[in-house]
Amino acid sequence: TVEALQALVLQTLDKQNVIENSKDLKLNDQPVEQLALLGALNSLKSKDMVDYTSIDREAWTLTAEGQQLADQGSHEARVFDAVPAGEEGIAMADVLSRLGDAAKIGQGKAFKNKWLSKKGSNLVRLVDSIVDQTQLDLKQVQTEGTLQDAKVLTDLKKRKLVEKQKITSFNVVKGPEFSLEIKKEATDITYEMLQSGEWKNASFKKYNFDAAGLPPNGGHLHPLMKVRQEFREIFFEMGFEEMPTNCFAESSFWNFDALFQPQQHPARDAHDTFFLKDPATTDRFPRELMEKIKNTHENGGDTGSIGYNYKWKEDDAGKMLLRTHTTAVSSYMLYKLAEQTKAQGFFKPAKYFSIDRVFRNESVDATHLAEFHQIEGVIADKNLTLGNLIGFMDVFFKKMGMDKIRFKPTYNPYTEPSMEIFSYHEGLKKWVEIGNSGLFRPEMLGPLGLPSDVRVVAWGLGLERPTMVKYGINNIRDLLGHKVNISMIKEYPVCRLDKKMGKELIGLSQ
């Protein structure tokens, strides 16, 4: 036991001040197991009672069979012992059945040693007594770790009775706190110790700076937020500024009208959008901008477009809702950019991004939730083209480890041209949709008041899909909502998007 070993070490040190080599230590006449000793030494060392250094050496040790022969004698000696003295001897078959298979090997050796010979089917002794040199050799290897006669040693090795091993033992000296008695060490100072004054004499366990420590019980980031942080880094790396998306409630004005989405558009139906009851409406949007947007919807305004040719209603624009996309914030930010441009008298290119929550009145299933997160990017600069958008997408997605990107024309009310973004899914061996993008239409940018040569490219994708891929979650309801397992949030590791992850990531879509 550890206690017995510790006592042995302390008593030996007390007597002789140092243990030159722990291989010589004996407990109840048995050599001490060095690995067990190490445990005892470490515990004493942590209390500064002893100190030690390791001694590494190579030594010969007995194999399991070698150990058996050292204990019971060699096969040949055992066969010899099985044969009684006298002319008669004993039937060979008897010896074999008594000693088993090993008797065959032993018998051969005993013939070679001229200890026994055959007489008919019997074995008879040729000598009165023998010396079992093999057993003696093995016992010597056991105690000394080697033999003088290298030839014998090689022979034992060939017979798989001994093998060479690295053996570590220890040189042990007294430590500053050496004593024969092991004091119990306190781990913490307690109320009782303070009250009784016991703390003054108590000896405290040393602080272990290598211990892993308890996992913190405080807050933990949701997996979605961990993945969001990774995407955030990509945007920051590329010089983007984060948009303020902390307000989920929005007016139809910014969510739809400012994006040139006609008021009778199906997306504005209560089937697709959550409208607010309280407050149900607002009129807090810039009046001048509102007039321009109204005109653009009705007849194109100053944009050169003919508009949608319907009667635009302020009441519809005033309806409050939970934003259906983060593009609602993008439209507001571009308006702010236009205002700033007018105020400072020159246009400064801008790169915005946001990663935040959006809401759609959809039926919930394994891959759809009524609330989810969008990743959105917006770049405003003079004379941007579709080529810029495609080129930029290539760089952006490469940073996420996706190098096979394709585009397909699509329709959005606020972009022209518009492109769905596809990425090749190595696992599924097919192209999957990962997002939507385009150049904002003149009908959208015109009313906002940006200089006429400023073009704005933008794109949006989902955050849930890459997160599910990253953390191996198959049902979106295990990720978000009331069925989420809280310990999952606590235990999932931080997110690092590597190239490999990017390849799988392409299951993401909005």
Q: Which residues bind ligand PHE (CB under 6 A)?
A: 325, 327, 376, 412, 415, 436-438, 458-460, 510
- Is 472 strand, coil or helix? coil
CA distance to 3, 138, 153, 394, per residue, from 162 (Å):
32, 8, 8, 65
Whichever of 467 and 509 has its CB closer to ligand PHE, that residue is 509
In 10 A of CB 510, how many CB atoms?
A: 22
Sheet with strand 371-382: strands edge to edge: 241-242, 350-359, 371-382, 454-462, 430-440, 415-425, 405-412
Nearest-CB residue to ligand PHE? 460
Least separation in angstroms between residue 214's CB and ligand PHE is 43
CB of 402 to ligand PHE, least distance (A): 18
Minimal distance, residue 347 CB to ligand PHE, in Å: 21
* Least distance in angstroms from the C-beta of 327 to ligand PHE: 4
The packing angle between helices 75-82 and 92-99, to 10°, is: 130
What are the C-alpha distances in Å from 33 to residues 3, 26, 37? Answer: 14, 9, 6
User: Could you say which DSSP state residue 281 is in?
Assistant: B
Write down the least CB distance from residue 257 to ligand PHE, Å.
Answer: 15
To ligand PHE, the closest distance from the beta carbon of 458 in angstroms equals 4
Q: Say if residues 254 and 285 touch (Cβ distance below 8 Å).
A: yes
- Give the nearest distance from C-beta 262 to ligand PHE in angstroms: 16
What gap in Å lies between CA 23 and CA 167, rounded to an integer? 9
What is the pairing mode between strands 405-412 and 415-425?
Answer: antiparallel
Q: Which is nearer to ligand PHE, 74 or 510 (CB)?
A: 510
Closest separation in Å from C-beta 255 to ligand PHE: 10
Residue linked to tokens 């000896």 = 203
Cis peptide, bond prior to residue 417, ω within 30 of zero: yes
User: Whole-angstrom Cα distance, residue 326 to residue 373?
Assistant: 9
The length of the chain in residues reads: 510
Which CB, 134 or 510, lies closer to ligand PHE? Answer: 510
Q: Rounded to 5 degrees, what angle do the CA atoms 315, 320, 324 make?
A: 120
The β-bridge partners of 129 are none
Cβ atoms within 10 Å of 370's Cβ, excluding its own: 15
Looking at the Cβ atoms of 109 and 228, the one nearer to ligand PHE is 228
Question: Looking at beta carbons, which pairs linking 208-212 to residues 24 or more positions away fall under 8 Å?
Answer: none
Residue (135 or 354) nearer to ligand PHE, CB: 354
Beta carbon nearer to ligand PHE, 321 or 458: 458
84 upstream amide cis, omega within 30 of 0: no
Q: Does the bond joining 442 to the residue before it have cis omega, within 30 degrees of 0?
A: no
Give the Cα separation of 397 and 299 in Å (integer): 39
Please, which residue, 6 or 251, has the CB nearer to ligand PHE?
251
Pick 307 or 460: Cβ nearer ligand PHE: 460
CB 434 within 8 A of CB 290: no
CB nearer ligand PHE, residue 91 or residue 247: 247
In whole angstroms, the minimum distance from the beta carbon of 438 to ligand PHE comes to 5
- Between residues 125 and 228, which has the closer beta carbon with respect to ligand PHE? 228
* Cα(103)–Cα(295) distance, integer angstroms: 110
Given the complex with ligand PHE, which of 69 and 329 has the nearer CB atom?
Answer: 329
Give 78 or 323: the residue with its C-beta nearer to ligand PHE.
Answer: 323
Indicate the helix (H) or strand (E) that contains 21: none
Q: Of the candidates 392, 314, 396, 381, which has an alpha carbon nearest to the alpha carbon of residue 350?
A: 381
Q: Minimum CB separation from ligand PHE for residue 418, in Å? A: 6
Q: What is the CA radius of gyration of the chain?
A: 42
Report how far apart, in Å, the C-alpha atoms of 178 and of each of 23, 184, 227 are. 22, 14, 54
Question: What is the nearest approach in angstroms of ligand PHE to the Cβ of residue 500?
Answer: 27
Residue 356 or 376 having the CB closest to ligand PHE: 376
Closest approach of ligand PHE to the CB of residue 187, in Å? 56
Name the minimum Å distance from CB 213 to ligand PHE: 43
Q: What is the DSSP string of 368-402?
A: B-SEEEEEEEEEEEET--HHHHHHHHHHHHHTTT-
